[in-house]
Amino acid sequence: MTSPTRKDFRLEMLLGLGQTAQVHLARGPRGERVALKIPKKEVRENPRLSERFAREVNFTLSLQHPHLVRGLWGVPFGEEAFLALEYLEGGTLEERLLRGPLPREEAKKALLQVGEALLFLHEKGFLHQDVKPANVFVGQGVYKLGDLGTLRAREDRSLEYAGSPFYLAPELLLGGLPSEKSEAYSFGVMAYELLTGRRPFRGETLEEIRNAHLLLPPPPTPLPPRLDRALRRLLAKRPEDRGSIRDFLEVLAKT
């Protein structure tokens, strides 16, 4: 079958409305359910923003892993730009957390699966840059990392970075470059949140959140001592003191 165009999809319901795109539940050419991401007009007409959407389309279609949201079809540029993704009926992990904390075994499953997706991206030479529950999607017994529009090559030396305040590593707040170490910190913040039911660093303002990342230790947890130590290594303030995602996953899998 030839690649479908945007007109080949029948929109059924708006799933989300972000700053740059709308995401609809839609029916594809064969009647299958998909999540259809359509960039806003101002994105399509802005060279920098349209380039980012095109990157997301190309990365999503080319990078395949069991725990990355699967890209089905896409058109990167132009009036008919779109990205069709597999539809995961559970929504985002952030939405799931609004209903209450995950059971410990479910949190463990989510972290092991998303952690494997991150390690895959790192092996391919990329950083995700925006690891957080809002970018993790929930299916039947499966968790998948999505939103690959923030991907950057590991060797990229530009100081511009993506990310969300609650999950940013201290060195990024001080003008450092993104790295696998800063990604480990973001993953550690999410791991703390999933395993304890609360974020480790909080604040009412951006300045309070920044100071918490830079100055405050993560609060005590009820986790088994070995897992608690591994989690605290991920949340070390200095990159050179920080543990790796792989080491943390090994401890988590045995706990």
Q: Could you tell me which of 245, 231, 243 has the C-alpha nearest to residue 114?
A: 245
Q: For 195-216, write each residue's pLDDT tens digit.
A: 999 999 999 999 999 999 999 9
- Per cent of the chain over pLDDT 70 is 98
Q: Which is the catalytic residue, given 130, 228, 241, 247?
A: 130
Give Cβ neighbours of residue 100 (< 8 Å, ≥ 6 apart).
Answer: 197
Long-range contacts of 46-54 (CB under 8 A, 24+ apart): 49/20, 50/77, 50/81, 52/20, 52/149, 53/20, 53/21, 53/81, 53/83, 53/149, 54/81
Tell me how far apart the alpha carbons of residues 20 and 31 are, in angstroms, rounded to a whole number: 27
Q: For 116-146, write each residue's pLDDT tens digit.
A: 999 999 999 999 999 999 999 999 999 999 9
Predicted pLDDT at 159? 65
Quick one: tokens of 246? Answer: 């792989």
pLDDT, the chain, mean: 94
Lookup result for tokens 């604040």: 203
Predicted pLDDT at 149? 83
pLDDT band at 1 (very low <50, low <70, confident <90, very high): low
Check if 130 is active-site. Answer: yes
| Rounded average pLDDT over 51-77 | 93
3-state secondary structure 183-228: HHHHHHHHHHHHHHCCCCCCCCCHHHHHHHHHHCCCCCCCCCHHHH
Regarding beta strands 143-145 and 136-138, do their DSSP bridges make them parallel or antiparallel, or are they unpaired?
Answer: antiparallel
Task: Judge whether 41 is annotated as a binding position.
Answer: yes
Give helix then strand counts, H and E, for the chain. Answer: 9, 9
pLDDT band at 9 (very low <50, low <70, confident <90, very high): very high
Q: For 66-90, write each residue's pLDDT tens digit.
A: 999 999 999 999 889 999 999 999 9
DSSP 16-32: EE-SSEEEEEEE-TTS-
Q: Would you say 131 and 118 are in contact if contact means Cβ atoms under 8 Å apart? A: yes
Can you list the domains of the chain with their CATH numbers? Answer: 6-86 (3.30.200.20), 93-254 (1.10.510.10)
pLDDT band at 8 (very low <50, low <70, confident <90, very high): very high
